[in-house]
Structure 1
């Protein structure tokens, strides 16, 4: 599989890299890490990264402006995106060939090559693995920095169960390129004053149901009062995760026509619940969409039931 991907990279002069909407560090890290890796390894090729900008992660790099014409006869690589509807920038079909690289459950295979490894900590780790298999791909300080960011993001600073020996080995390899870890963490956890104020609000108002399910509801009015966007609020999803007895927790974030559902767990499997509500993801970290506050109550009841089954 990796050799097939490498051959396609060699075959095409134009490569456009996508990832999912509302990107997290792994989405940006794998996308921009791969862009940097390919640009530095193949300076004669045209390599682009596309998608909406995420201000909180702008320190990692910016997206490229790419016209429709550039897509003609191009190789498309989609990183860290399980479902086609979640791909940021829907022009993937304009390309000549599509490759999917992802570590989420492969519920929707798409593209001519599908490389999915659910045992990988992150898509960023998979890009490091890809680089290990080819003498054509040469890591640098910048690509290592970006891929490190993605691994850190999806492993929760190496605290989550998806942190395997191979994850740490590959991370150690990245650190050999002289990554400024202090600078990175300073950027990653830098918060605007409005976010700190919202954090205080969340800590005062989240609920614990049945002793094990944490719930926070952020309405449009609350977000507007703190001048925080729905995307920005995702930074707080784990803010009360260390509460004693908590097994799962959920953030309900209201947008114009839907409610974003951010699910996290310490043990009970939650991605099946997410899939039942227009979403999906990992067993312990998933996202979904509700279309009414009544639907969120249904989700909450399912979370309570999942914790009771674990007892």
Structure 2
């Protein structure tokens, strides 16, 4: 593993142009790892061309914004894909137009890609991986406040505010290091966790109206009409998924969120592996936190039945 990390460092030092990708529909760790890496590399060597590409999420712009670049920038470039387990989920399909491709990810390695791949699910997040990488290989690299803020946001989000089981002593060591850069963690926490009035009202509806099976699989369906009624966007709504974690009898909980051409499923659990179910429905993820995609409301029952089957 150390050889892989050393090879990544060698490649980063070698290339003048570095283009960083992550997964579609980015969460704070996807953006935090991507933007944090960009800011660290650019601060360490201002003469390098370092870009972060992909679609933007308005509510996460505090982490950083995206670059718009031409195809010709990929010629002779190093491309790094962060926090992305599957090729189909890489944002911006030009990821394979560069000279070399590196994958850095903390999800289970169900699909290998890239000329060089560092995958380690023992990390809480891709952001934690990158902080650890540059602590282990500090020569020629300089962390700064802006990079530290981005990495912190990624770790904070993927650990559920350091409350999830993936928060390890190593995670806290990385966070302790980031906090030495005067990053104002309370501001990052507020940006990620404080809900709007409309989202808070939807949260109340969720707690009053969710469904639950006899085996303890709780679920809530969020249609476009419901989003419009509350004036809440899909990202705000999906971020409420752990509302159902606070009900003691819920062993597994899921949101079904309507999009124009698909229904996205967010699945969480309390100590019950659910990634195998997500993979049955065009998805995947971590053992206790996964996502899937279905294409009709008729499939909701199939997902619930599959979750019931893994529920003891």
Question: TM-score, normalised to structure 1's length?
Answer: 0.96
Q: How does 1:19-30 map to 2 (within 5 A)?
A: 19-30=22-33
Match of 2:40 among 37, 40, 44: 37
Distance in 1 between residues matched to 2:174 and 2:196, nearest whole Å: 32
2:139 is the alignment partner of 1:97? no
Contact map agreement 1:145 1:179 (CA 8 A) in 2? yes
Tell me which residue corresponds to 2:260.
Answer: 256
**Which runs of 5 or more residues in structure 2 are unaligned?**
none
Distance in 1 between residues matched to 2:204 and 2:49, nearest whole Å: 46
Q: Which piece of structure 1 moves more, 155-164 or 190-199?
A: 190-199
Distance in 2 between residues matched to 1:271 and 1:187, nearest whole Å: 29
Tell me which residue corresponds to 1:160.
Answer: 164
Distance in 1 between residues matched to 2:198 and 2:99, nearest whole Å: 44
> Deviation at 1:211?
5.4
Tell me which residue corresponds to 2:150.
Answer: 146
Q: Secondary structure at the match of 1:118?
A: coil
Tell me which residue corresponds to 1:298.
Answer: 302
- Deviation readout 1:32-83 (Å, 9 max, x if unpaired): 1101110011111010101111112111111111111111111100000000
Tell me which residue corresponds to 1:131.
Answer: 134
Q: How does 1:71-110 map to 2 (within 5 A)?
A: 71-110=74-113
Distance in 1 between residues matched to 2:205 and 2:250, nearest whole Å: 19
Distance in 1 between residues matched to 2:76 and 2:161, nearest whole Å: 39
Contact map agreement 1:26 1:124 (CA 8 A) in 2? yes
- Deviation readout 1:213-234 (Å, 9 max, x if unpaired): 1110011221222233323321
Tell me which residue corresponds to 1:270.
Answer: 274
Distance in 2 between residues matched to 1:279 and 1:251, nearest whole Å: 14
Distance in 1 between residues matched to 2:202 and 2:56, nearest whole Å: 22
Match of 1:240 among 244, 261, 266: 244
Distance in 2 between residues matched to 1:154 and 1:199, nearest whole Å: 20
Q: Secondary structure at the match of 1:65?
A: coil
Match of 1:179 among 179, 183, 197: 183
Contact map agreement 1:27 1:80 (CA 8 A) in 2? yes
Q: Which piece of structure 1 moves more, 223-232 or 62-71?
A: 223-232
> Deviation at 1:289?
0.7
- Number of residue equivalences: 308
Question: TM-score, normalised to structure 2's length?
Answer: 0.95
Tell me which residue corresponds to 1:220.
Answer: 224
Q: Which piece of structure 1 moves more, 78-87 or 221-230?
A: 221-230
Distance in 2 between residues matched to 1:67 and 1:205, nearest whole Å: 48
Match of 1:280 among 277, 284, 288: 284
Q: Secondary structure at the match of 1:176?
A: helix
> Deviation at 1:170?
1.3
Tell me which residue corresponds to 1:208.
Answer: 212
